[in-house]
Structure 1
């Protein structure tokens, strides 16, 4: 019987330099998208997919991230005293049970593959998910939940994939497709950040993975790849043609690159418009701005 995916790795050791000076004192992962930090969106998605154990690969200066998931007795007591039960309910989603969450330090910035490798002892011999909080996905069915369902069919390594303009393919890991089954594609190769014009397709891998422990064994033997880092893509590519295989999954939803300022702003607008209590005011403001721009022309 195929093992369920109950563990997820969250690589959060990055310095977030593209968001300086904010990230001088605030970890990028707890920067807020509307009224929830990026990491909360990732945690909620993982929970919806059946994840029970949450493994954070961190670095120095991430104490505020760890504190975010802790209980806040003084705050909870004040809210209870003031009868603000709705806010107490909101806080429940931010609390993690004792033992459900673990923190591993990545002492050297050696890439995503190295970050995943750092968590190997907590994974053991089980399939696991990797979630990059920078990639926020708006979907009716959470992206990782969709992928878990696909994994139950294939049993192999599954990576989230989306079509990108060919001129942008060099910014991603790109799948070389062996068989296209629509939602699911079987890969015959993967290229990390191919040179312009040399991408095997425009089907790019984004920050959601379900992987077998064979990928961890590959990472044990990895040398640095593109950019001088240990690339997770290279370790996954080693499993192509093997017993488990590698599949790309075209998820249903919209992905926002919140690792960039423009992507973060786009996500803020999209998630704000999706909130009933914010939509009218925000939409009215956007219309006013557009009208002023047109008038200025």
Structure 2
């Protein structure tokens, strides 16, 4: 029987060096797109997919994330006093229910695979999702919801996919594709950051995963891969053949918010969707004469 996906892991222990000095004292996951931090977009995506438990794998200097998903009694009282009910409602809506949130530490920054492995005791023996807040996905139906619905039919492991330029394969995990069925592609191989000449395709893994708990056994060996880090992709590659494994071509637009240009693009795209901001943003763009 295919078990439902109830838990999600958010690896948020990275140092965010590409956004220094902004991330010297602030977690990169707290960088705002318009007026909402990246990590909140990821949590809301998970909530829309029916996730019930939220597991954050943090590191030193990440207390702002814990504070963000907690109550702020003084701020709530001030907003109520000033009759800012809409703002207060939105603020309270971003806080999960008591007991839904757990935190564990990734004591050494050894890679994504290591971060996921650190959550093993909190996940237990059931399928779970992994969401990378750097990958902000704008979609009418949340990307993870699309994947959860598809995985309920296929079972096994599932990763989000997108096509990338051939000369960009060295930036991503790349799949070797098998049978294609609509938005689903069978994964027959998986390579982390291959050189373009060695890439099995141009179908890249995006930061959304639905994984079976067996992945922890493959991560337990702590084998280092590309960049000298413990890569999640390497563990997933060793799972191929043991259970159904599919890539899912999601409907929506992905913004790489770990990149400065991608982060700016996300702010622009989300601002243009806001009725209270659209006209001002368009007027500014026209003023630039670009």
| Distance in structure 1 (CA, Å) of the matches to 2:170 and 2:25 | 32
Aligned to 1:253: 252
| Distance in structure 1 (CA, Å) of the matches to 2:83 and 2:271 | 27
Aligned to 1:85: 85
Aligned to 1:273: 272
Q: Secondary structure at the match of 1:113?
A: helix
- Residues 86-135 of structure 1: CA distance to partner in whole angstroms, max 9, x if unpaired? 11111012222221111110011110000000000011110000000000
Aligned to 1:180: 180
Aligned to 1:285: 284
Q: How does 1:174-213 map to 2 (within 5 A)?
A: 174-213=174-213
The question of 1:45 aligning with 2:37 is answered no
| Distance in structure 1 (CA, Å) of the matches to 2:170 and 2:286 | 35
Aligned-residue offset at 1:222: 3.9
Q: Are the equivalent residues in 2 in contact too, given 1:9–1:131 (CA < 8 A)? A: yes
Q: Secondary structure at the match of 2:23?
A: helix
Unaligned segments of structure 2, at least 5 residues: none
Q: How does 1:108-119 map to 2 (within 5 A)?
A: 108-119=108-119
Q: Secondary structure at the match of 2:108?
A: coil
The question of 1:5 aligning with 2:17 is answered no
| Distance in structure 2 (CA, Å) of the matches to 1:94 and 1:212 | 28
Q: Are the equivalent residues in 2 in contact too, given 1:8–1:51 (CA < 8 A)? A: yes
Q: Runs of 4 or more off by more than 6 Å in structure 1? A: none
Q: How does 1:46-61 map to 2 (within 5 A)?
A: 46-61=46-61
Q: Secondary structure at the match of 2:71?
A: coil
Aligned-residue offset at 1:251: 0.3
- Residues 215-272 of structure 1: CA distance to partner in whole angstroms, max 9, x if unpaired? 1111112411111111101111111111x13210000000000001110000000000
Unaligned segments of structure 1, at least 5 residues: none
| Distance in structure 2 (CA, Å) of the matches to 1:82 and 1:55 | 34
Aligned to 2:96: 96
Aligned-residue offset at 1:282: 0.3
Indicate the larger mover: 54-63 or 92-101.
Answer: 92-101
CA RMSD of aligned residues (A): 0.9
| Distance in structure 2 (CA, Å) of the matches to 1:136 and 1:128 | 19
Q: Secondary structure at the match of 1:10?
A: strand
| Distance in structure 2 (CA, Å) of the matches to 1:237 and 1:222 | 15
Aligned to 1:165: 165
| Distance in structure 1 (CA, Å) of the matches to 2:197 and 2:252 | 27
The question of 1:262 aligning with 2:261 is answered yes
TM-score (norm 2): 0.98
Q: Are the equivalent residues in 2 in contact too, given 1:178–1:186 (CA < 8 A)? A: yes
Q: Secondary structure at the match of 1:15?
A: coil
Aligned-residue offset at 1:51: 0.6
Aligned to 2:75: 75
